[in-house]
Amino acid sequence: MGNSNSRTTSADALVVFGVTGDLAYKMIFPALYAMARRGVLKVPVVGVAAPKWSAAQLRKRATDSIRQAGRIDDRDALKHLLSLLQYVGGDYNDPGTFIALKQTLGDARRPAHYLAIPPALFATVIKGLGTSGLADQARVIVEKPFGRDLASARALNRVALSVFPEDSIFRIDHYLGKEAIMNILYFRFANSFLEPIWNRDHVASIQITLAEDFGVKGRGSFYESAGCLRDVIQNHLFQVVALLAMEPPAYQGYGAVHSEKAKVFQAMRPLHPGDVVRGQYSGYRKEPGVAKGSDVETFCALRLFIDSWRWQGVPWYLRSGKCLAATAAEVVVELKPPPQRLFDDSAPVNGRANYLRFRLSPDSAVALAARVKRAGKEFVGDQRELYLSEEQPGEETPYERLLSDAMAGNGGLFTREDAVEAAWSAVDPVLNNHHAAYRYKPGSWGPKQADALIAADGGWHNPVVLKVKQ
């Protein structure tokens, strides 16, 4: 059976490739510290990277990172984490690096290898793990982006599957680790009242917004190679679409969830240039690392159709961008109005019929908009929201949850090969064949052409973010 039992057995070591890099500093060390505080980190953590560091240098870097992320309020947990850290320096192309790693791992037989490295190095490291025998009984955790188009995703999957079985490959999308995202799946299938209306007969349209009020923050050269469609929509927002659109899984278990999500991507109608509006905020071209005449999009809006029995004909509107009016993520499921107007004022106000709203960030909530009659003889009312706030203190951060799950062999929050390739298939036609990006003003909701895209369905629902006074 080889690795088939890797689902249930816990990893007995964590190897972090790229441990001296930005991702490890900002996300992985704070997540490991949180795991140590909860008492769930009990295995050696081996960092691998090119610089010839000592273990002491790595421990200092980890301490700085955790301090930067917040105060160190549990000295014993920090001490425990630092005692688990070891370091291997070397080139990923050098077989000697993997021999040194094998020696450092000692008795560990089921390591989880985390690739916190640029995507160009994924194949090199995966092949190195295979050649050195470090893939046997092991798992590999691959950070996004998984490919940059359909062809590269297929090539990367081929390399990964030549070394690891599918159930030992954990493709990470940190967005799936967020509590509010997991709540969509729970809210849909733990409640019975949604199912009768959750289809093309009752839903008019669905829109998803992921907005950021800041720019590329000095990561211009990265953004030049990615752009908003690749960086956010094809992975984060498509994952949210899949949770909203999927059929009920046939049984309890993450395999069933993966199968239903993959079917959603397979049913997506491939995009055409007319379905996509690209934007670029004024000033982006002045950012360091950005080409003078760059046409890379910092904003993208698109209209999507899912040609399944449940969703045939229902438009899905997705948008994301930088330098927008707020930092927030929201889903609005717009319902069809009642079939007959019994009351003069019950036509959709501002094009809005009843709707269900999932607030994903900065806070987490579910709201249902319904009309309520005003006091008095007149049959006149207002649309009000029934609002259910979901904030839970002490919840795990996405990276803490994803690392814990991958090490435990729980693949529920990760992405499968068929889903990755089907999602790329939907966007592949417009990655290079698209209209030029429109300019938009920082602090706006993007170019006005994005409003025209959704005008027939009542326009965008802009998230309202209350500014907290400092």
Sheet containing 328-335: order of strands: 381-389, 365-373, 355-361, 328-335, 203-211, 315-321, 299-305, 276-281, 438-440
Among 314, 290, 106, 331, smallest CA distance to 208 is for 331
Location of structure tokens 């399944």: 308
Angle between helical axes of 254-267 and 238-245 (0-180°, round to 10): 110
HEC string for 197-218: HCCCCCEEEEEEEEECCCCCCC
Amino acid at 204: A
Q: Is 119 helix (H, G, I), strand (E, B) or coil?
A: helix
13 sits in which H/E element: strand 13-17
Residue 258 and residue 260: Cα distance in Å, rounded? 6
Amino acid at 92: Y
Here the tokens at position 276 are 């996509």
Sheet containing 169-171: order of strands: 85-89, 45-49, 13-17, 111-115, 139-142, 169-171
Which residues are known to be catalytic? 236
58 sits in which H/E element: helix 55-69
